[in-house]
Structures are given as structure tokens and as C-alpha cells.
Amino acid sequence: MPTILLVEDNEMNRDMLSRRLIRKGYEVLLAVDGQQGIDMCEQAKPDLMLLDMSLPVKDGWQVAREMKASAVLQTIPIIALTAHAMADDRQRALLAGCDDYDTKPVDLPRLLGKIEHLLGAAQ
């Protein structure tokens, strides 16, 4: 099964989303800040990254920019996840290099749809 790296600093949301993804059969890796997220991408090469944007140490936008600038990591699709739901938040995320965007609270079927779409495109 594909491996998804979930970068999320909020413990409850991390716990909740990771469990739901595991239940759907994905392998889930966890990172709690932006830098850790990049490090884990380099080590574990996940198939997809779910990226919270408001992160400590290195925020999501910075992570996305660095990922897309790296020859090794730029192929990993990124879905931005944020509770910032204003109109230009989506634009900001896509501009930073994210491949897709979803808002919190997470609508799981919709998020799964986006994950599968991106994974399908990557294969």
C-alpha cells in the first residue's frame, strides 16, 4: 500500500487523521514539524505528503517550496491541509508548490479522492 507522510503539529488531529488513514489501508508516517517532515521525506521517500501549513520550526509553505526545489523530493505529491479557509489560502498553498489543497475540518471521502487522484497520476 502507498505510504503517506502526515506532517501535523496538532496532536489530536495527527492522531485522528493518521488512524483514519490506517483504517483505509494506507501506511502512515508522522512528522510534527516542517523540518522533520523534509527529513522524513528524504529518509523514507513516502508516496504522498499531507502537509499542515501552520507548523512550528518551518511552516508548510516553506516546506513545499523546499520540496519542489529539490531534485529528489519534487516528485512527491503534496496536499496542503489547513484550517485557513479563506479564498486566497488555496492560492497561497498552490503557489508555494503544493499539488492540491484541502481544508479542515477534513471531509475524509473528499480527501481520499484527492489522495487517490494524485497517487494515480504519480504512477
Phi then psi for residue 73, to 5 deg, are: -95, -10
Phi then psi for residue 58, to 5 deg, are: -140, 120
- State the nearest-atom distance from the C-beta of 85 to another protein, in Å: 6
Binding to another protein by CB under 8 A, coded x per residue (else -) over 45-84, reads ---------x---------------------------xxx
What would the grid cell of residue 21 be? Answer: 488513514
Residue 45 or 110: the one with the smaller Cβ distance to another protein is: 110
Sheet with 78-82, side-by-side order of all strands = 27-31, 3-7, 48-52, 78-82, 100-103
User: Which of 1, 19, 42, 122 is close enough to bind another protein by CB under 8 A?
Assistant: 19
Lookup result for grid cell 529518509: 43
Contact set with another protein (CB under 8 A): 9-13, 15-17, 19-20, 23, 54, 82-86, 103-106, 108
